[in-house]
Chains A and B, each alone.
Chain A
Amino acid sequence: MTHPDVPEDEKSVWEKPGTLKAIWIILIAGCVFSAGWGFLLAAQGKLGYDPHFEDKTGLAGVLGALADHFPAFYALVGFVSFSFIVLAGQHLRKILMRDESYYDGEEGRS
């Protein structure tokens, strides 16, 4: 189905450019705030207060140290994980995607 262009008078506040701009600003501000809070806590010694992976060595040691001590580690995990899932995951369609009627015939389309 194509997505129709919605007339201006039918747009909700969530579709107005001003609102979308505000959402972007709030989102970026939230990201800066949360990352900054992480650095602040680290400076106060309240982040990674109880290192959990200091016994690890090699790659695990590096990752463990990141988890325990890098103040923006969770920001990195969130951004990279989400991007990886979306960018890599969509290629699964090339292997797995079939027509809706594949299993259940026309009933599968409803």
Chain B
Amino acid sequence: MSQILSPDLNPGIILIIAGVLLAVLPKLFRNLVAAGAIVISFTHLWGYGLPAFGEVSLFAQSTLMGFETIGVRIDRLAMIFAVIFHIAALINVIYGWQHATRLEASMGLVYAGAAIAGALAGDLLTLFIYWELAALSSVFIVWAGGGHAAFKAGMRYLVIQVLSGLFLLAGTVMHYSDTGSLAFNSFVTGDGAFGDLSSAAVLILISFAIKAAFPLLHTWLQDSYPKASAVGAVMLSAFTTKLAIYTLARGFAGLDALIVVGCVMTAFPVFFALIENDLRKVLAYSLNNQLGFMVCAIGIGTPLALNGAAAHAFVHIIYKALLFMSMGAVIVRVGTAKATELGGLHKSMPWTTIFCIIGAMSIAAFPLFSGFVAKSMITLAASKEHILFAYFILLFASAGVLVHSGIKIPYFAFFAHDQFSPSHTGKPRPKEAPAPMLIAMGLAAFLCIFIGVQPQYLFALLPYEAKYTAYTADHIATQLQLLLFAILAFALLVKFKLYPAEVRSQNLDVDWFWRVPGRHLLMGVVNGTAALWRFVWRGLCALNGRILRRLYIVHGPEGRIARTWPVGYTALMTAVVFGVVLFSVYFY
């Protein structure tokens, strides 16, 4: 397909430039320019054509300060991520048509552009630039949430994201010094659990691990996303972590250790999501759990598994955005997403309820919904590779998805106990979500069902050649068994009052270690350093005073140097000096 714009122009740059422009445009033009830029960028991307399996095209090859860089690399892995990032960007613009602030609209588009440009970057240095741009632009979206808590969360987010960038830069420098190349290809060179990674590759892996929210490195996600605005959280949910999944798939496919990491990632968030009251934080844990499926698939590393990771990332971006959008609509109408304050909203927000349920059924992987056709690729890949523990944990986590996103989100927000009864509150019920939000949710819901019903269009984009049929009798039967019996368990637990009630609370996660004792330790070090400095400064001041006093004694107006000497004494001293000089000349 021919392109109007130069193929050397990374499509993401179009969005980055448009995003900067948005900062100075009035609201209506902001939305139109943003939507137009996404259409132009997507058309430009599609103009490259869908590459054949294994085909790689490189553009914008140049030398930057002596380093050979590749501005655009088009292959199927990059393409599928660039496509879904465009879809997410468009959904974000529509969703924020009315409610996005100038800052959110502008930085949201820059952020999307950075993610797209990063996915299409052909070398590590170019990736680093977009990696950091994504971090810097997205922190403004966190801050746009407003309030001191959002500001602090944004600062923590920024520190962690920039740290990820530093690891990437350090790894890139070491990789260049080792190999003389900035090429971004697989770093896995052996068959062991850690794939004989070089030191440089380990640093790069840490960088990707931070952004992919690996266990123990994950809390920036739950900390920051729920503090963004209704619109901002939707923007944030799509890009950072999925860009990291893309980079892991490119650089570390087949690294056995990732199977274990992925399994842990899928399993542990379900427990945290269960006890969490803030439904957007539940979604953040759910996001972690979904990333675990992708990381596990990347660790398995077969073509089927990698297709599963890419397909799952694709559908996940849509249904996760849909769930975040439904909670955002609730926040816009009610002012909170806390389960204890919600319930019964299906009566006045029926469309939002329906869209949320579609998102929930998609993430839970019901047949005919998008999650069904993608997630099972990963579990099937685990079973085909005979990785029993991974298979069991992925099944366990699939039931866990139903706990937190499939049931908890729609049930507590829209059903459960009616908190908005006019006879009790004395106020009319909350209104349905604003039209632009409904349109964006409707579009995402349509895609969830369309992909679920017509998966061949998604499969046509997948990066590797692998045989897979989504709709087989045994697959449908077994998935229905898993989901329906899990729902039966939920119904019985609620009936017998064994399902825990929602409680207003702050639940601790591993970030407690650096937010409480870590902070105390840091403040102790700061205070200790300040005390030491004060001690040193006082000593220096005292020493300085003593020196000045002594100098004053000698050189002051009353000092010995300032004393007036008698003429006789002066003549005597002159004679002595002369004598010394004469002796010196005579003897030497």
The CA of A12 and the CA of B343, in the complex, are separated in Å by: 13
Which B-chain residue is minimally distant from A52 (CB atoms)?
A: B383
The CA of A95 and the CA of B396, in the complex, are separated in Å by: 23
Interface of A is mostly: helix
On whether the beta carbons of B484 and A90 are closer than 8 Å, the reply is: no
On whether the beta carbons of B271 and A3 are closer than 8 Å, the reply is: no
Q: How far is the CB of B229 from chain A (nearest CB, A)?
A: 14
On whether the beta carbons of A3 and B474 are closer than 8 Å, the reply is: no
On whether the beta carbons of B506 and A12 are closer than 8 Å, the reply is: no
B57 on interface, CB distance cutoff 8 Å: no
The CA of A95 and the CA of B486, in the complex, are separated in Å by: 26
The CA of A53 and the CA of B390, in the complex, are separated in Å by: 12
On whether the beta carbons of A4 and B418 are closer than 8 Å, the reply is: yes
Q: A41-B473, A93-B503, A97-B275 are in contact. Are A81 and B486 (CB under 8 A)?
A: yes
Chain B residues 269 to 287 lying within 8 A of chain A, measured CB to CB, are: 270-272, 274-275
The CA of A93 and the CA of B316, in the complex, are separated in Å by: 29
Report B-chain residues with C-beta under 8 Å of the C-beta of A52: 383-384, 386, 391
Report B-chain residues with C-beta under 8 Å of the C-beta of A102: 506, 508
Q: How far is the CB of A42 from chain B (nearest CB, A)?
A: 9
Question: Which residue of B336, B386, B477, B500 contacts A86 across the interface (Cβ within 8 Å)?
Answer: B500
Which among B274, B402, B403, B489 has the greatest number of chain A C-beta atoms within 10 A?
B489
On whether the beta carbons of B400 and A86 are closer than 8 Å, the reply is: no
Which A-chain residue is minimally distant from B505 (CB atoms)?
A: A97
Report B-chain residues with C-beta under 8 Å of the C-beta of A97: 275, 503, 505-508
On whether the beta carbons of A75 and B485 are closer than 8 Å, the reply is: yes
Q: A46-B474, A52-B386, A96-B275 are in contact. Are A82 and B490 (CB under 8 A)?
A: yes
Question: Which residue of A12, A48, A92, A108 contacts B271 across the interface (Cβ within 8 Å)?
Answer: A92
Q: A85-B274, A93-B503, A97-B505 are in contact. Are A78 and B484 (CB under 8 A)?
A: yes
Q: A4-B421, A90-B274 are in contact. Are A64 and B400 (CB under 8 A)?
A: no
On whether the beta carbons of A77 and B396 are closer than 8 Å, the reply is: yes
On whether the beta carbons of A103 and B506 are closer than 8 Å, the reply is: yes
Report B-chain residues with C-beta under 8 Å of the C-beta of A93: 275, 500, 503, 505, 507
On whether the beta carbons of A74 and B488 are closer than 8 Å, the reply is: no
On whether the beta carbons of A47 and B498 are closer than 8 Å, the reply is: no
Report A-chain residues with C-beta under 8 Å of the C-beta of B499: 86
The CA of A109 and the CA of B505, in the complex, are separated in Å by: 9
On whether the beta carbons of A46 and B473 are closer than 8 Å, the reply is: yes
Beta-carbon contacts of B489-519 to A below 8 Å, as 1s and 0s?
Answer: 1110100001110011111110000010000
Report A-chain residues with C-beta under 8 Å of the C-beta of B427: none
Count how many pairs of residues, one from A and one from B, have CB atoms less than 8 Å apart in the complex.
204
Q: A10-B421, A27-B484 are in contact. Are A86 and B399 (CB under 8 A)?
A: no
Question: Which residue of B343, B417, B485, B503 contacts A79 across the interface (Cβ within 8 Å)?
Answer: B485
Q: A77-B399, A78-B399, A89-B270 are in contact. Are A12 and B481 (CB under 8 A)?
A: no
Which among B340, B403, B506 has the greatest number of chain A C-beta atoms within 10 A?
B506
Question: Which residue of A14, A28, A56, A72 contacts B488 across the interface (Cβ within 8 Å)?
Answer: A28
The CA of A90 and the CA of B270, in the complex, are separated in Å by: 11
Chain B residues 542 to 568 lying within 8 A of chain A, measured CB to CB, are: none
Report B-chain residues with C-beta under 8 Å of the C-beta of A6: 344, 418, 421, 423-424
B392 on interface, CB distance cutoff 8 Å: yes
Report A-chain residues with C-beta under 8 Å of the C-beta of B477: 34, 37-38, 41, 47
Report A-chain residues with C-beta under 8 Å of the C-beta of B506: 97-103, 108
Beta-carbon contacts of B342-382 to A below 8 Å, as 1s and 0s?
Answer: 01101100000000000000000000000000000000000
Q: A53-B383, A67-B391, A82-B486 are in contact. Are A89 and B478 (CB under 8 A)?
A: no
On whether the beta carbons of A82 and B403 are closer than 8 Å, the reply is: yes
The CA of A86 and the CA of B344, in the complex, are separated in Å by: 23
B341 on interface, CB distance cutoff 8 Å: yes
Q: How far is the CB of A54 from chain B (nearest CB, A)?
A: 9
Q: How far is the CB of A20 from chain B (nearest CB, A)?
A: 10
B66 on interface, CB distance cutoff 8 Å: no
Question: Which residue of B346, B388, B400 contacts A12 across the interface (Cβ within 8 Å)?
Answer: B346
On whether the beta carbons of B482 and A3 are closer than 8 Å, the reply is: no
Top 10 A-B pairs, shortest CB-CB distance: A3-B417, A81-B399, A78-B486, A78-B482, A78-B485, A34-B480, A75-B481, A90-B500, A52-B383, A74-B481
A-B contact pairs, 20 of them (CB 8 A): A1-B419, A6-B421, A24-B491, A31-B488, A35-B485, A37-B477, A52-B386, A74-B395, A77-B396, A78-B402, A78-B485, A85-B400, A89-B275, A93-B505, A96-B507, A98-B506, A100-B506, A103-B515, A107-B149, A108-B149
